[in-house]
Amino acid sequence: MSRSVSRRYVTTAWGQTHLTESARPGPPGPPLVCLHATAYSGQTFLPLIEALDGRRRVIAPDTAGYGGSDPPERRWDIEAYAREMRAAIRAAGEGPVDILGYHTGALLAAEIALQDPDLVRRIVMIGVPYYLGEARAERRATLAQPMALTNRLGQFAERWAFLVGERPSGMSLSRGFANFVDELRAYPHGWWAHDAAFSYAVDRAFPLVRQPVLILNPANHLSAPSRAAGAALPQAQVRELPHLSHAIFELAAEELADHVEAFLNAASLDRSRDHPASGPGFETGPVRGVAQL
């Protein structure tokens, strides 16, 4: 493990939440809480934590039921995941904080900001699954399929092929394997947070978010939904990153860190968007998982 990273647990009324975080305290100011995609964990953000070492303290919790965090006893909605994440942040002794949300984590960031506006100062989002209507239902039907644990090793062959064998260029073998292990740890309930994400009424929630938001937008199948999210958020700007597509934390951690730091440190923010959103007609793309991002 890198010397810039440490790990610990915090306890809430629900259970224990595992945190991956900066080993050094960092300069004064709000820490950056990074919320991961489903069905992975805070280890997603290891390259970003290292890139921000000495510039900002970073905390990457594992969502309930993922990574090292205790699982819920039943399926939760995004509102419940957000309540427990708020409790974990408070149990860690933090607040106010800035939040970076990645895929499912972007929806959690928005809901946390709605539930506890004083806790959240600014938000960064990447890969926002802002889907409406039939597109949202299709994502839910594809990614929120119930699973059953059997005694056959072959039940994991497809996920091994996708996450390890077919991992995107630039993603290391060890990182692909770590993603596979994250899915195994969440099995057979790893689909629960996808069910929550694609049941969440983003069209009602996002217009109520009052915090400044920066959407970093690589060129991939979530580009159009991310632009639509930028149009729905009252104080959002979309930063297009057309030279990036997949494995963005592995390939561009320093660049992402610079964008994040500039936004979080700005004394005042330009409310205009770098590029207008494209509306509700979203492009479609691979929906086997989000590890390609």
pLDDT computed for residue 95 by the predictor: 84
CA 215 to CA 229: how far, in whole Å? 8
Residue 290 lies in a domain: no
Residue 135 lies inside a defined structural domain of this protein: yes
Give the model's confidence band at 56: pLDDT under 50 very low, under 70 low, under 90 confident, else very high.
very high
* Cβ atoms 135, 143 nearer than 8 A: no
Q: What is the residue type of 213?
A: V
User: What's the DSSP call for residue 164?
Assistant: I
Domain for residue 164, yes or no?
Answer: no
Instruction: Please check whether residue 286 lies inside any domain of the structure.
Output: no
In a domain, 241, yes or no: yes
97 bridge partner residues:
120
Q: How confident is the model at residue 269 (pLDDT cuts 50, 70, 90)?
A: low
**What local confidence, expressed as pLDDT, does residue 281 receive?**
37
Q: Say if strands 16-22 and 5-11 run parallel, antiparallel, or are unpaired.
A: antiparallel
CB 250: neighbour CB atoms within 10 A?
Answer: 16
59 touches 31 (CB < 8 A): yes
Write down the pLDDT at residue 283.
41
Average pLDDT over residues 165-193: 96
Mean pLDDT, rounded, for 114-135: 97
Count other Cβ atoms within 10 Å, centred on residue 126.
28
Confidence of residue 228 (pLDDT cuts 50, 70, 90): very high
In this predicted structure, the answer to whether residue 120 has a pLDDT above a threshold of 90 is yes
Angle subtended by helix axes 78-91 and 104-115, to nearest 10: 70
pLDDT of 113 strictly over 60: yes
- DSSP H or E stretch at residue 22: strand 16-22
Average pLDDT over residues 173-200: 97
Of 214-218, 236-240, 265-269, 282-286, the poorest mean pLDDT is in: 282-286
CATH of the domain at 226: 3.40.50.1820
When pLDDT is cut at 50, 70 and 90, the band that residue 273 belongs to is very low
Which residues lie below 8 Å from residue 159, measured CB to CB, with a gap of 6+?
Answer: 180, 183, 289
Average pLDDT over the chain reads 91
The count of structural domains within the chain is 1
Average pLDDT over residues 201-209: 98
Mean of the pLDDT values across residues 37-62?
96
User: How far is it, in rounded angstroms, from Cα 241 to Cα 188?
Assistant: 35
pLDDT at site 68: 97
In a domain, 92, yes or no: yes
* pLDDT, position 287: 45
- Determine the structural domain holding residue 78 and report its residue range: 5-147+189-265
- At 85, the pLDDT band (50, 70, 90 cuts) reads very high
- Cα–Cα distance, 163 to 168 (Å, whole number): 9
Whether 165 is in a domain gets the answer no
Backbone φ, ψ for residue 269 (5° rounding): -120, 140
Q: Where are the alpha helices (DSSP H) in 131-209?
A: 133-143, 157-160, 173-186, 192-197, 202-205
Distance separating alpha carbons of residues 141 and 85, to the nearest angstrom: 26
Q: What is the mean pLDDT of residues 269-287?
A: 44
Token code pair at residue 30: 């709000």
How far apart are the C-alpha atoms of 113 and 80, rounded to whole Å?
Answer: 13
Q: Degrees (nearest 5) of the Cα angle 92, 97, 99?
A: 105
Inside any domain, residue 170:
no
How far is 105 from 265, CA to CA, in rounded Å?
22
Residue 187 has pLDDT above 70, yes or no: yes
> Hey, which residues does 19 pair with through a beta bridge?
8, 61
The set of residues, in sequence order, having a beta carbon less than 8 Å from that of 4 and lying 6+ positions away, is: 22, 23, 24, 49, 50, 53
